Amino acid sequence: MNQNHNMFPYKILLLAVILVLGGFSGTAAAAGFALIEQSGSGMGNAFAGGAAAVDDASVQFFNPAAITELKGTQFSVAAHSVMPSAKLTDANARETTLGNIPYTTPGAAEDGGVNAIVPNLYFVSDINPQTKFGLSISVPFGLSTDYSNDWIGRYHGIKSSVETININPVLAFKLNDRLSLGGGISAQHISAELTSAIDSGAICYARVLQLGGNPAVSCAPAGLTPGNNATDSYAKIKGDDWGYGFNLGLLYKPVDGARIGVAYRSSVKQSIEGDATFTRSAAFNAFLTGAGSTLFTNTSDSADINLPATLSVSAAHALNTQLELMGDITWTQWNKFKELRVKYGNPAQPDSVTTESWRNTLRYSAGLTYKLDDRMKLRGGVAYDQTPVPDDEHRTVRLPDNNRTWIALGMTYAASSQLSFDVGYSHLFLKDSHINSTTEASVAQNLQGTYKNNIDLLSAQVNYMF
């Protein structure tokens, strides 16, 4: 009986690893496409004091040094439900290369938000009284938007999916009663899929005009007119890669009851490689075949992306045995994301380019935890998260991001000295996101409108101490 009882936590741990590695979907809830949803307990505080928290094993994502404050061997497994809405209103679209032609069949505007689950798992154990080992499996970046094939912004994007899994072992050392240091390495896998429609009619018009012909004769009779979704073609770009990075942390206790945490997580360069698949409409296929063109034929693809570094400074202070206040400022180095350029193995296929010109951001948060009794803690927090998107012209349908304000509530319940549960909820208020985006291609399309965005987050976490 004791043997089965002792094996129970390990079975839970194995099941949690399978859950995290077996599949997930990610939708950005922090600014850009970062996912700050890395802790069920932290969710209730709007992740205020993240690098100075010592509640459970999930703190190692925010600061590896902080695990020296945990007792014994612990693991935490969490799941976060991300429920976004991203609805484009007052939309209009037009082709701009051939004379600013409004689309005759524009399709409708719609909500591109996709509900998703983001999991994470953390494990901490003693090496000796001064040294701790930690392991985290998390999802630090993610993006998911999805529209209908005939929606008004289809030439800018239909489906966008970016998923990451980060495996991060860490070591932490308690130098003395006041100061701890920690660090680790990360192996991060990324997979991406992007789809969009191709304006077959506009490309036909542009090619025929370039050759001195009459598109009304060569294109229009086959239905190849600008913006005609009946003759649209489609592109799907897929790829994946492994990248590597590191994280460092410091935890300092200037006085009893107070903690200051400083943590840095490095940039990770991902060189994504995969395949590009094109589905040409019958009319467009006939036109390209007749012209002897190899445009939009299946080929390999590649893209480089630098996922950003972060630097966090956090503080937590217990005013008494019941009330703890906390705060955090986190800087994210988004300015390395200058453009998304997809290159193709087919030399006839020009690069697909989206200029991003993102800027570095700051996130500010403040929160409190109130110990109601020996079993229950209540949490609350607020945060303000800057967007890296610089202006309306660089906002895209794949990520119609803007500044956001968080309101968060949560609680921790200790079922026993070994087992506890966390739940947290946050609502994110986003500013209206105006878009005035033009595709960067030989035939360009412009899309204008206003996104009405909001996000709801719900987290649940289980913590077990061996």
Contact criterion met (CB below 8 Å) for 425 and 46? no
Percent with pLDDT over 90 in the chain: 86
Please, which pLDDT band fits residue 32 given cuts at 50, 70 and 90?
confident
pLDDT of residue 442: 85
pLDDT of residue 398: 94
pLDDT of residue 30: 62
Both structure tokens of 399: 């990520």
What value does the mean pLDDT take over residues 69-85? 94
Contact criterion met (CB below 8 Å) for 158 and 197? yes
Cβ burial, residue 289 (10 Å; 0-12/13-18/19+):
exposed
| CA separation for the pair 259, 247 (Å, rounded) | 19
How many residues belong to the chain? 466
| CA separation for the pair 374, 371 (Å, rounded) | 7
DSSP 90-153: EEEEEE-SSS-EEPSS-----B-B--EEEEEEEEEEEEETTEEEEEEEE--BEEEEE--TTSTT
The DSSP secondary-structure symbol of 309 reads P
> pLDDT per residue over 415-441, tens digit each?
999 999 999 999 999 989 999 999 998
Task: Assess whether pLDDT exceeds 60 at residue 214.
Answer: yes
First-residue to last-residue Cα distance in the chain: 16
Buried b (16+ CB within 10 A) or exposed e, 245-279: bebbbbbbbeeeeebbbbbbbbebebebebebbbb
pLDDT of residue 466: 87
Q: What global pTM score does this model have?
A: 0.91
> In angstroms, how far is CA 293 from the centroid of its own chain?
38
What value does the mean pLDDT take over residues 206-217? 92
> pLDDT per residue over 46-59, tens digit each?
999 999 999 999 99
Q: How many CB atoms lie within 10 A of CB 282?
A: 12
What value does the mean pLDDT take over residues 219-234? 94
